[in-house]
Amino acid sequence: MPVKRALDVPERRGSNYPSPFDRPCRERSDRSLGDAFGLGDFGVHLLTLAPGVWSSQRHWHSREEELVYVLEGTPTLVTDAGARILEPGDVAGFPAGTENGHHFVNEAEGPVRLLVVGSRNASDDAFYSDIDMQILGRGCGGVYSKKNGEPYPG
């Protein structure tokens, strides 16, 4: 059975969002633990947020489910219902097709570490609640576009 240390998995910084939407996420650290083992049905990520950094833009998925477990720190979960501070051991889940935009923001003084698990669906679309952005067919190499379908450059 293959075993790896999570912090030995290659780190990727930032996001794939077009500018200026990438700014709050530029310093996030993502280690794709699932990819390190060749997992295809679901993704597992170790996400580290320095103070002031966001996990993503606030979004929801049409066909993907997400589960987030707080390992370290006190992230603020922001949803349509408002903001809530979480603690280590807290778990948040987001069913596919539920139009409740969510993201995590580190408003604390120390780092936040999250274990993020999500299904991988090639026909998933993601919609961004607070900005004029969507990505259709995300799993098939979709392109970020405005909500009217006009693609962002890049």
Instruction: State how far the Cα of 31 lies from the Cα of 63, in Å rounded to an integer.
Output: 23
Q: Using alpha carbons, select from 99, 17, 93 the residue that is nearest to residue 62.
A: 99
Q: Please, which residues have CB within 8 angstroms of residue 20's CB and are 6 or more apart in sequence?
A: none
Q: Tens digit of pLDDT for each residue in 81-116? A: 999 999 999 999 999 999 999 999 999 999 999 999
pLDDT at 1 over 60: no
* pLDDT of the residue at 154: 67
Question: What average pLDDT is seen over the chain?
Answer: 94
Q: Which structural domains are found in the chain, ordered by start?
A: 16-121 (2.60.120.10)
* pLDDT of the residue at 6: 95
Predicted TM-score of the model (pTM):
0.94
- Token pair, residue 91, equals 């778990």
